[in-house]
Amino acid sequence: MSRAALVVIDVQESFRQRPIWAYGSNPDLVRQVERLVAAARERGDLVVWVLHSEPGTGGLFDPDLGHVRLIDGLVPVDGEPTLVKTAHNAFTTTNLQQVLTQAGIHDLTVCGIRTEQCVETTTRVGADLGYRMTFVTDATLTFPIPHRDLPETATVAEILADPRTLTNEEIVTRTEYALAGRFATIRTVDEVTGATLAGTRG
């Protein structure tokens, strides 16, 4: 049995309902995730799907609205758990660690939405829990981050026009610098899918 797993984080319809979706950092995200999933299955790695939920909020992550589901085209197969979290990282409010422990997994590859938020936070927590983490940047996606002083009611146009807004490129660069050598090995989809042994990925 493989000792590695791929964790796909928050690649869900909720995000596609936001106006800023069109300005995401990685239009090729779904295809890149599909490549990672196919390679993981071929190697016999466990694939774990994670969704983010905010019950009772009435927002896009409220499951009552129907958007807390994988983006069309992504379909788990038998034996692949789908976990629902309510925290930024995939461990705190789910039984992810139990799933991994029962499967004897020590190596985790992570991808998904958002690069610097739930994917990075999961990576940090996973590293602290003792997992060997691989962060696949080009299978993550993020959006421009407005300055903290910009009103929550700001439009996408106002966010993009504000010189204080953190760009996608700046976010991705910052995340890689923060994680590399501390919490994870940074890899590309090509590198991960080209690996022949799970143990060579970290």
Model pLDDT, residue 1: 54
Residues 6 or more apart whose CB falls under 8 angstroms from that of 71 comprise 11, 12, 13, 16, 30
User: What kind of fold does domain 4-190 have according to CATH?
Assistant: Rossmann fold (3.40.50)
Helices (H), the chain: 13-16, 29-43, 96-102, 120-128, 156-161, 168-179, 189-194
Residues 6 or more apart whose CB falls under 8 angstroms from that of 191 comprise 201
Query: What is the reported pTM?
Result: 0.94
Structure tokens at 135: 């962060």
Among 169, 116, 108, 113, CA closest to 139 = 113
Q: Name the DSSP class of 200.
A: G
Structure tokens at 44: 């016999």
- Delimit the domains of the chain by residue range: 4-190
Per-residue confidence in pLDDT tens, the chain, 202 aa: 569 999 999 999 999 999 999 999 999 999 999 999 999 999 999 999 999 999 999 999 999 999 999 999 999 999 999 999 999 999 999 999 999 999 999 999 999 999 999 999 999 999 999 999 999 999 999 999 999 999 999 999 999 999 999 999 999 999 999 999 999 999 999 999 995 444 433 3
Model pLDDT, residue 23: 98
Cα–Cα distance measured from residue 33 to residue 47, given in angstroms and rounded to the nearest whole number: 11
Cα–Cα distance measured from residue 145 to residue 147, given in angstroms and rounded to the nearest whole number: 7
Asked if 29 contacts 11 with a C-beta cutoff of 8 angstroms, the reply is yes
Q: What angle do CA 107, 172, 18 make, to 5 degrees?
A: 100
Q: How far is CA 3 from CA 7, 97, 106, 197, in A?
A: 13, 13, 6, 11
